Structure 1
């Protein structure tokens, strides 16, 4: 999006100086970033974050208390938050009941199933994020110990103990599994391809229905004018004949009934056209929802891949440091971990924010589709 606005700004300012073009591009870039950040300041986003944090806090407390008697470390505790059942709107049970009652189009049913699958994928990412935070506490402890070593440079015995503790923490961090490995990139690609195919089918069905509606309207207008004109001519002729013959008086009611049937048939055709129009609107809203899902999942996939590679790099560095055992290598590793600690935790927070944003946009799309399905239109 930023690139598109940048190119458009270059076209608009083709006759201006290079400096003016760059300033315009920077202003557009800032405006895009402001729009992006604004999504994280909305009331609905804050509400869903608070709701999720309450659920996560309850789940984490329950999990920790249930495992306090075990010997497992906090980094190995499975969270199993299942926020989908807690945050998803409308609830899947409601969708199932309406599907049975109204006999929805199969593509709409597939849309609701796809949105449910996307939220469950978000669940997996959130569990990996929080497991990663538990696992990264080892690095945080190592960083604190390294600062203690620098502060107590004269206390050799204490420094040796701290260094031993640092090596133990680094060895444990290098040996443990990468929590982000549970979020399989292959799964992301499969979901992406499936959603792109669903988007294509939604758009194709909508275009096909639109073509049918256009043809029906044209045929209806032409046939309706011809039919009404012919019946009107016959009716006028029979009414004129009715004034001069008893046969006309007997035949006139049947002609009137046929005209009434004609108009009733026309009303049924109008109802059918309105039903097709509503289906088009439903498919259109569902297609927009799938498009948003694809973008959200692609963004999270890239962020997960980046964080996964960062963790793998830290594990390799920790392993090399432990195997080498030299003080100079340890200092260099600590310097790298100290410099990158805040940026890594910020990336985790940003990924978590995108997960909540995906929940928010998914719920919004589901509500819009459900509104199109259940809303009564004349």
Structure 2
């Protein structure tokens, strides 16, 4: 919550050397501005259904916050699918008791209502693909990763709830604690100490941005994107070689027919004609791709585009979410460091300064908490749209030889 250094922090460096507190994260909002703005552009594209394969150019575009982006963000919050999944998850959280350390199966039971298309639909769609094809394996990997990021988002949504619970007593304290230091009573200081003690005893609700979950998931999506690019380029390269070979065979066939005709007129010996035919057959094999092959190539290209777009969007959502988690994790850590100074000194003036600092930064903290919550729901919506788009690309076709 203490987004910027306060006079209290400056003062405590000189008066309480043993409780020296560095500025928790000065200017951290500006550090994350580009990251969040970049993802906002991608969010607007996802919610408008703009799944295209021009993601490389999008990823390198320099983005900056503008009024238009704010407007698009507001529109995104009113999106029907966004609100539907938000209400679904909030309703689910109200009726379920979240138990720390749940077994995986129970966690997936909570995941199933919000993940669309669900596992069974995905499995049925993949049955229509060649099980031995590399592309089928990559598509299956994408669906697994999309489940993983949804699971992560569910966990972070629970972190948001825990953060609100953690700061609820602080919020009540800020409302009741006097604004004028001369009006503070000892009982109010004791109440503040109790609240601070409770706050300090609880864990930070947000995981470290360097945690294994974030790093591993980002690596998995980045690796999948590279594999999709590599296999797509390899497949297209093979098709171009085949196309050139086919064109060459057609010209070779024409030359052979003409040559045989001339040889039949000029030279009437059967042996020489047979020799010409033999040479033409061995050196100019004729291979004409069928219409089915062309359709399969087009289908394969659509599948690559759908999987790659989803992967790209999820990477950007993940990066934005990690930025916000980093911000909130640091805020809680900074608040705890300030509160520990008050707990150690129990000085009325220091308690007043801590309360003042928390009061000044409260809105910033809850604004970012709400922003993280919004991004979590955006990610849910993007995952479902991407999964549905990919299943739609797979399902109409009964086989794929890619």
**TM-score between both structures, scaled by the size of structure 1:** 0.72
Deviation at 1:150, TM superposition (A): 5.5
Within 5 Å, give how 1:216-365 maps onto structure 2: 216-224=242-250, 227=253, 269-365=290-386
Q: Which moved more, 1:335-344 or 1:351-360?
A: 335-344
| Counterpart check, 1:188 vs 2:209 | no
Cα RMSD, aligned residues only: 3.6
Q: Which of 52, 63, 67 pairs up with 2:89?
A: 52
| Counterpart check, 1:199 vs 2:220 | no
In structure 2, the gaps of 5 or more residues are 1-33, 39-61, 261-285
Deviation at 1:226, TM superposition (A): 5.1
3-state secondary structure, aligned to 2:117: coil
For residues 371 and 26 of structure 1, what CA distance do their matches in structure 2 show? Answer: 32
Q: Give the conservation status (yes or no) of the 8 Å contact 2:143–2:387.
A: yes
**TM-score between both structures, scaled by the size of structure 2:** 0.68
**Closer, same or farther: CA 373–304 of 1 in aligned 2, 3 Å:** same
**Closer, same or farther: CA 374–299 of 1 in aligned 2, 3 Å:** same
Q: How many residues align?
A: 310
3-state secondary structure, aligned to 1:133: helix
Deviation at 1:298, TM superposition (A): 0.4
**Closer, same or farther: CA 89–229 of 1 in aligned 2, 3 Å:** farther
**Closer, same or farther: CA 96–228 of 1 in aligned 2, 3 Å:** farther
State the partner residue of 1:140: 171
Deviation at 1:110, TM superposition (A): 0.8
Deviations 1:152-177 (A, max 9, x none): 94xx8xx3323212111101101211
Deviations 1:246-301 (A, max 9, x none): xxxxxxxxxxxxxxxxx9x95x7321232132112201210111010100000000
State the partner residue of 1:114: 145
For residues 356 and 339 of structure 1, what CA distance do their matches in structure 2 show? Answer: 28
**Structure with bigger gyration radius:** 1
- Between Structure 1 and Structure 2, the one with more helix by share is 1
Within 5 Å, give how 1:61-140 maps onto structure 2: 62=97, 84-104=111-131, 105-140=136-171
For residues 327 and 65 of structure 2, what CA distance do their matches in structure 1 show? Answer: 27
Q: Give the conservation status (yes or no) of the 8 Å contact 1:203–1:284.
A: no
In structure 1, the gaps of 5 or more residues are 4-24, 68-75, 235-262
Q: Give the conservation status (yes or no) of the 8 Å contact 2:181–2:349.
A: no
